[in-house]
Amino acid sequence: MAEQQFEDMEAFLRVAKYTLVKFTDMHVEMKEEAMDICITAVEKYPNDAEKCTQMIKDQMDKKFGAPWHVVVGKGFSYEITYEVRNLLYIYVGGRTAVLLWKM
């Protein structure tokens, strides 16, 4: 049984190298730019969620106008109010979740 779980985890980590979009209602162009910003930040600061979050927020505020809100982490739940067409929830690298929204 332990060997099967390990094999499943290895398969998961191979697939998890790709970004997984859990939910978004953004327009395609905005989604692609936001994903690029998020992926770059997570790769630049893999062990510092605070710096990662600040980088994403600063770039989104500049590019799409303030106020953007960001949560980066490996385990959280959420209940938010957001402006329609301004929500992105993704997993980067299979383990790090990024929740990005505008109010």
Q: Does the residue 94 lie in any domain?
A: yes
As given in the structure block, the two tokens for residue 34 are 């936001």
Asked if residue 12 is part of any domain, the answer here is: no
Distance CA 37, CA 26 (A): 14
> pTM, whole model, 2 decimals?
0.83
Closest by CA to 87, choosing from 69, 74, 73, 72, is: 69
Written as tens digits, the pLDDT of the chain (103 aa) is 444 555 666 666 666 678 889 999 999 999 999 999 999 999 999 999 999 999 999 999 999 999 999 999 999 999 999 999 999 999 998 789 999 999 9
Helix residue ranges, H only, the chain: 2-15, 28-44, 49-64
Number of independent structural domains in the chain: 1
Q: Report d(CA 12, CA 34) in Å as an integer.
A: 24
**Residue 33 domain-assigned?**
yes
Asked whether residue 77 is assigned to any structural domain, the reply reads yes
